[in-house]
Structure 1
């Protein structure tokens, strides 16, 4: 009777799992999509101005096809960014302007393409859909929010990852058209970011494993030609020669950086000092890398022993995984060699976090493919679920307030750029600031770019007024710092509640700057809805023009609430910039 009852409940359990699986799979994707839609803003940041706005001016003014092609292919810093530029050109042709919020959505499309490739590989295993859940939670988490919400990084890293993996996926199968498509896709990947060049090596490994020697020769020939073209007119290598010197002087740091980078998915204490912060990622990298090499040996030793035990579908997956690991490990090695000289924390910067997330997801998929005949598969899936859910939940807890504040910061700094010709990255008086001022003015004049509205918009005229407002003797502001910045803070509970989005106002007779308050984005306030008890903001001195500035506050009333005091008030405190 007990056996009969157990057997009767098994179909019910399987039916329930089939029904709930799509919801579990969709949850992290929908959450991430809502995050992007909510916090993407039409504000360029630092290199965006040169990569998109300066480019689109030059491209639009070019009178010949050769000049337009030159604008598309010429390098920006140490990268060619063809796909990013083409996205801006198409957007300008369709809408008449360049909108950075929509460029972020375009980048999200490439990110989704990479996820779709992983899903396609998973479906070839004929496993229950619920086993794909760890990939979803590993992939759709906000550690790499700077790749998802910054137009340029999204249209570099997201694009090159998708195109390279697509080329490897095409190479892993047979057929003339797949090979031709892989070449075209890989050429585009190479011209979209410099690490796309690593795809030629990864593809060569796949073709060598498949013993397709004729195609390998053609692949290498086109790859060499593409690499020569890529570097032939570079004028700025960003000091990579000093990175080589750093490697020769400190090879142990470079070696540790490689494992930290590959294991960065477990960057779960980002507010700690760099030693404590990097400890868990490094240990995870030390576990992950040998696991990958064990899988590589397991997948590829039958090829060299002439004992092929895999079916056609599994063999294609083995080619694909091997190519992906080659691409990701070469990329990790290059980053570990070239970047630690800027500081070890660069190994854990949000711009790069998509790579360790993808690596971990691929390791999980490889385990599903290789361990399937073994009883260890169930344990593998349970471990994947635990790790992915921990990373997903902790990442949202840590980074959601940062993402929300970044939107506030970009909107606030767009005010400074609009009214002072500076604010979106460069320092006052620098050549970069001169370029940005010219480009922003010209794109706004032509209607190519439009500044967004923000919490300050209803008060923009009053804040920017040249008529000085009298100081409020009841407004007491505390200031500390100097040099790079000043920290400005009100007394605790000095302002009537509720306090919402707010900014510190820095005003001279000629200019007014805003700096966003960060207190509302501290976890206790952000998640628990606790009152904003103080205004706390960092005033960044290098963007200020020389002069003497009064210090005040902008505290717009919360929506649905009536403001008790004037939203714009000044204290008796001053800042002098020499």
Structure 2
């Protein structure tokens, strides 16, 4: 046998395997980056306005360092968001503006940081890069799009997950410097979102397992002081006291909610009724949680049996294993405290909250941890190879289905944000507020002031070439357009759709117009973003939109359509009208 030839063949196979691994690892990173570039827009939504724009105006106008510091750590609703505010200040200092698109990309850096932490842990297992490929597929997918494409949630959840896991990574190692660094990171995590406080619990678990009693005492003292300071000036309890009443009435929903939440990565039928939708995630939770408990027992049973610290190992491989075990244990503790809190406090808003996109980053990182953890505790090469194949298959299915099911929603939300920006710009209401409320006044004041100072600029959109025409248009029927209207003046909304055949073939996006003598509003058409229409690359031949009544001033409005077109007639009106009264539900 030609040994040189054999060596060359093996080297070629290894090179091809490495190339495939690089492609598989890079693919979800590239796709997720492209998704953000394509669908993230510079439009604030709801809490974004107060958190970023109102904050930066107050920060600029603050007369002293102490006032600026107070603004940085002051709570917004039930969270302090120090990192988000610091990023906003830095952005303003560098550019003179606040851009929500770039705030979201700043948060994306933290998400990539979490991926890097997972890689650092994986690297110590000494496996081929191909074994790491399921991790980016599981982590970088659009299931949690309301976290990854919304500034306020992105700069809370993605930041706190990275910081909590970074804290566990630092505590898992040895040395005083790592403990000091972990304490600093945990302090920042604590003031970046309320669930960052759970890191004190998780860190205490790691330090107790390591039997670092002195450090544990310091950690618990700092943690208690931080928690007391965090809540000392909260004025709005957010109605959480009613969660106890809900639990006493519906304990089974809280119990099931825990498993639904932890298995939410497998929410594959999100368009169905919540009862059927929650079946698969709940079953997945019943599998994932026992698996996690088994791994926790396997990892920590030697420590619980012995009085000596088994972390002190005689070889490098054993030391790396125990570092990983401490890291996994701390991360699981953080995620489980978070899951218990969500399951206890959130079902009162409706069981669908267990599967809301804002929270779905946490089930994703739980599955990633379990996958790497099993690799870390591997027994033999055959079982590892089988686990890697299962991991690749499951992760690619989850990744693919998440894009198929969620991308149309993300694309539609982009158009919703843009039309809401038009409504805010021209009617002083549109970014999540309702007419006549204190929040609407706050939003209007913040938007007016930041636009005046040049801090914020409304983005261009599909309607920009027709914006002047929309403002100047006089609602007059062209005699051809016809619409069907479902709803009443006192309902939450009107559902309006054009009658088939009365509009030309549509290009997407398009919008519904409602116009009175004083106001013109746009509402994004849903039709191009229906699941089937979106993926068939069609645009449909009708316009359908939901008109939220509480965002319109009381009046009678004529209904029309905006169909972007360089030729023909982009702005058209029907002879149908809707009426908005003060008595909206």
| Alignment TM-score, normalising by the size of structure 1 | 0.96
**What is the deviation of 1:332?**
0.3
Q: Alignment length, in residue pairs?
A: 572
Change over 3 Å in CA distance of 1:252–1:6 after alignment to 2: farther
RMSD: 1.8
User: Equivalents in 2 of 1:373, 1:317: separation in Å?
Assistant: 18
Distance in structure 2 (CA, Å) of the matches to 1:165 and 1:148: 18
Question: Any residues of structure 2 matched to 1:101-112 within 5 Å, and which?
Answer: 101-112=101-112
Question: Alpha-carbon deviations, 1:54-88, whole Å to 9, x = none?
Answer: 11111111101111100001100000000011111
Any stretches of 5+ residues in structure 2 without a counterpart? none
Contact 2:18 2:129 survives alignment (8 Å) = yes
**What is the aligned counterpart of 1:574 among 574, 577, 585?**
577
Residue 318 of structure 1 aligns to a residue whose secondary structure is helix
1:478 equivalent in structure 2: 484
1:341 and 2:348 are equivalent in the alignment: yes
Partner of 1:429: 436
- From 553, 558, 562, the equivalent of 1:554 is 562
8 Å Cα contact 2:506-2:542 kept in structure 1: no
How far, CA to CA, are the matches of 1:409 and 1:506 in structure 2? 15
Aligned-partner Cα distance in 2 for 1:350–1:213 = 40
Structure 2 match to 1:255: 255
- Secondary structure of 1:177's aligned partner: helix
How far 1:10 sits from its partner (Å)? 5.1
- Compared CA separation, residues 360 and 474, structure 1 to 2 (3 A): same
Which residue, out of 528, 547, 550, partners 1:542? 550
| Greater displacement, 245-254 / 522-531 | 522-531
Counterparts of 2:393 and 2:379 in 1: how far apart (Å)? 19
Q: In the alignment, what sits opposite 2:374?
A: 367
Report the Cα distance in structure 2 between the residues aligned to 1:288 and 1:150, rounded to whole angstroms. Answer: 29
Q: CA 1:6/1:524 → structure 2, altered by over 3 Å: closer, same or farther? A: farther
Structure 1, unmatched stretches of 5+, are none
- Report if aligned partners of 2:504, 2:541 keep a CA contact under 8 Å in 1: no
The corresponding residue for 1:563 is: 567
Aligned to 1:240: 240
1:185 pairs with 2:185: yes
Q: Distance in 1 between matches of 2:300 and 2:382?
A: 22
Question: Which residue does the alignment assign to 2:403?
Answer: 396
| 1:530 equivalent in alignment to 2:538 | yes
Equivalence for 1:456: 463
Distance 1:493 1:524 in 2: 20
Shift of the alpha carbon at 1:411?
A: 0.6
What is the correspondence of 1:106-505 to structure 2 with a 5 Å cutoff?
106-306=106-306, 308=310, 311-373=318-380, 375-465=382-472, 468-482=474-488, 483-505=491-513
Alignment map for 1:506-521 (pairs within 5 Å): 506-521=514-529
CA distance in 2, matches of 1:336, 1:4: 61
Aligned counterparts of 2:571 and 2:506: Cα–Cα separation in 1: 16
Q: CA offset at residue 372 of structure 1?
A: 4.7
SS of the residue corresponding to residue 505 of structure 1 reads strand
- How far residue 304 of structure 1 moved from its aligned partner, in angstroms, is 2.2
Distance in 1 (CA, whole Å) between partners of 2:45 and 2:175 is 43
Secondary structure of residue in 1 paired with 2:133: helix
SS at 1:311's partner residue?
A: helix
Deviation string 1:270-310 (CA, Å, 9 cap, x unpaired) is 00100110000000000000000000000001112239487
8 Å CA contact 2:84–2:155 kept in 1: the answer is yes
User: 2:506·2:563 contact (CA, 8 Å) conserved in 1?
Assistant: no
